[in-house]
């Protein structure tokens, strides 16, 4: 049987890409550090994906095993794999890169001339390219030459809401019905994997930014405004008309920038926005605003879901009032359990709002900085409109 390795055996790894790989006929090896999950997978050898949406149904995922991602056993698995995917979070990619490099070294040493494709399925632009850069750091020139010939590193965009839910069986995962997995076809090495649900594309950046500027932008702003207003979940937050109005307008602002940049159809994109908003309203997902809002420093980065759409739209002369409100809300995210939130709040305290935004996001435009500071101050007084 064909072998795939899924780095990250959490809810996203099991509930999205891992499930698609199993359904496509791969034996899926989940690589993680969570011993309870690893033992559960190896003992039970199956789990269920529970789709909770307008229509609810279950999928049973089989042909699976698990291995510790920090043990020597993972190297043997990499030697035998045809495809490697990740769902570890963008910040963890550099931690697994040395392990992947060791696997590539082993393949070279054993003169393995079978092709391997490695796809980082993360919420970040160019995540696979980032992973490749980290892998290269651990290889010598001959190993890099081998990698360039036999190992593909296609970028991708992924879209599925997989919230943390407590199920009777801890291996089971609750997900929404909607998903998208768009993979850069030109960078695949060897025969293209036949995986139902994997959409092969040419111009990936348009898909990446369409998702980042729509789902991720709207999701984050909903969470930050909802957290500020005292709501617990995304669906509770989006039911608030003031929040829903700001979120939709922000998504339209970012969407207008996308339309200009990539030549998209505006009407079709607005329909896509409406579809995304309906996903936020799904009460079955019980999507915690703390989960969606976590790691605010990353989300406020220049290339991420708040500042990137803002700067893109502004570059085309598009009004960005509601995206600015979203950034103002993100600056208020004060969660003592989130290290990045703690750091953000300390930075604001030490430097003030404008200098903190400069440091975190790289924004230098004085007009924008003043507007963000103004939005931040208004939100302090609980004005969400």
* 324 annotated to a ligand binding site: no
Q: Would you list the DSSP string of 226-289?
A: HHHHT-SBHHHHHHSHHHHHHHHHHHHHHHHHHHHHH---HHHHHHHHHHHHHHHT-GGG--BH
Give me the mean pLDDT over the 107-135 stretch.
96
Matching residue, tokens 């499930």:
19
Nearest to 248 by CA among 323, 178, 182: 323
Residue 384 has pLDDT above 70, yes or no: no
Which three-class secondary structure state does DSSP give residue 225? helix
Predicted local confidence at residue 166, as pLDDT: 85
Q: Is 8 annotated in some ligand binding site?
A: yes
Compare 238 and 123 and report the one with higher pLDDT.
238
Tell me, yes or no, if the pTM score tops 0.85.
Answer: no
Residue 381 or residue 82, greater confidence = 82
Q: What is the pLDDT of residue 96?
A: 98
Confidence of residue 379 (pLDDT cuts 50, 70, 90): very high
pLDDT in tens, 45-96: 999 999 999 889 999 999 999 999 999 999 999 999 999 999 999 999 999 9
- Is pLDDT at 385 greater than 60 in this prediction? no
Judge whether residue 383 has pLDDT over 80: no
Please check whether residue 6 is in contact with residue 87, taking contact to mean a CB–CB distance below 8 angstroms. Answer: yes
In the DSSP assignment, the letter for residue 90 is G
Tell me what the mean pLDDT of segment 5-10 comes to. Answer: 97
Helix, strand or coil for residue 20?
helix
pLDDT of residue 54: 85
Q: Does 178 show up as a binding residue in the annotation?
A: no
- Report the alpha-carbon distance of residue 182 to residue 215 in Å, rounded: 15
Residue 263 marked as a ligand binder = no
Q: Is 7 annotated as a binding residue?
A: yes
Residue 328, annotated as binding a ligand: no
Bridging pattern class, strands 180-184 and 156-159: antiparallel
- Whether the predicted pLDDT of 208 surpasses 90: no
Question: Read out DSSP for 151-173?
Answer: EE---EEEE--------SSTT-E
Helix, strand or coil, per DSSP, at residue 355 = helix
pLDDT (mean) for 314-338: 98
pLDDT of residue 285: 87
* Across 334-349, average pLDDT: 98
State residue 120's pLDDT score. 98
Annotated binding-site residue? 6: yes
Q: Is the pLDDT assigned to residue 3 strictly greater than 60? A: yes
Helices (H), 289-338: 289-293, 296-299, 307-315, 321-331
C-alpha dist (Å) from residue 147 to 43, 101, 150 = 35, 9, 5
Of 318, 203, 354, which is closest to residue 309 (Cα–Cα)?
Answer: 318
Asked if pLDDT for residue 124 goes beyond 90, the answer is: no
Contact present, 305 and 299 (Cβ < 8 Å): yes
């Amino acid at each position: 049987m064909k072998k795939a390795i899924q780095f990250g055996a959490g809810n996203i790894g099991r509930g999205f890409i891992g499930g698609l790989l199993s359904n496509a006929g791969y034996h899926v090896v989940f690589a993680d550090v969570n011993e309870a999950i690893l033992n559960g997978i190896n003992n039970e050898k199956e789990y269920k994906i529970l789709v909770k949406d307008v229509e609810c149904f279950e999928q049973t995922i089989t042909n699976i095993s698990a291995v510790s991602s920090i043990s020597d056993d993972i190297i043997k698995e990499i030697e035998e794999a045809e495809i490697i995917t990740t769902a570890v979070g963008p910040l963890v990619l550099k931690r697994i890169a040395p392990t992947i490099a060791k696997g590539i070294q082993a393949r070279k040493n054993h003169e393995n001339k079978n092709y391997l494709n490695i796809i980082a399925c993360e919420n970040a632009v160019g995540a696979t390219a980032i992973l490749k850069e980290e892998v290269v750091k651990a290889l010598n020139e001959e190993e890099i030459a081998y990698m360039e010939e036999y190992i593909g590193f296609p970028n991708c965009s992924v879209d599925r809401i997989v919230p943390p839910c407590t199920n009777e069986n801890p291996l089971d995962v609750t997900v929404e019905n909607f998903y998208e997995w768009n993979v850069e076809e030109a960078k695949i090495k060897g025969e293209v994997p036949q995986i139902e649900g994997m959409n092969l594309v040419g111009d990936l950046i348009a898909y990446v930014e369409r998702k980042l500027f729509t789902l991720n932008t709207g999701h984050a702003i909903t969470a930050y405004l909802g957290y500020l207003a005292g709501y617990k979940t995304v669906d509770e937050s989006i039911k608030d008309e003031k929040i829903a109005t700001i979120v939709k307008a922000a998504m339209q602002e970012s969407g207008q920038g996308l339309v200009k940049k990539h030549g998209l159809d505006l009407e079709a994109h607005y329909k896509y926005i409406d579809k995304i908003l309906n996903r936020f309203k799904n009460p079955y997902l019980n999507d915690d605003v703390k989960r969606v809002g976590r790691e605010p420093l990353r989300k406020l980065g220049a290339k991420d879901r708040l500042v990137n759409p803002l700067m893109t739209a502004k570059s085309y002369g598009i009004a960005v009032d509601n995206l600015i409100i979203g950034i103002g809300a993100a600056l208020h995210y004060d969660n003592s359990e989130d290290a990045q939130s703690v750091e953000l709040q300390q930075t604001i305290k030490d430097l003030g709002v404008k200098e903190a935004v400069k440091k975190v996001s790289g924004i230098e435009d004085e007009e924008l900085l003043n507007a963000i500071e103004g939005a931040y101050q208004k939100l302090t007084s609980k004005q969400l409109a």
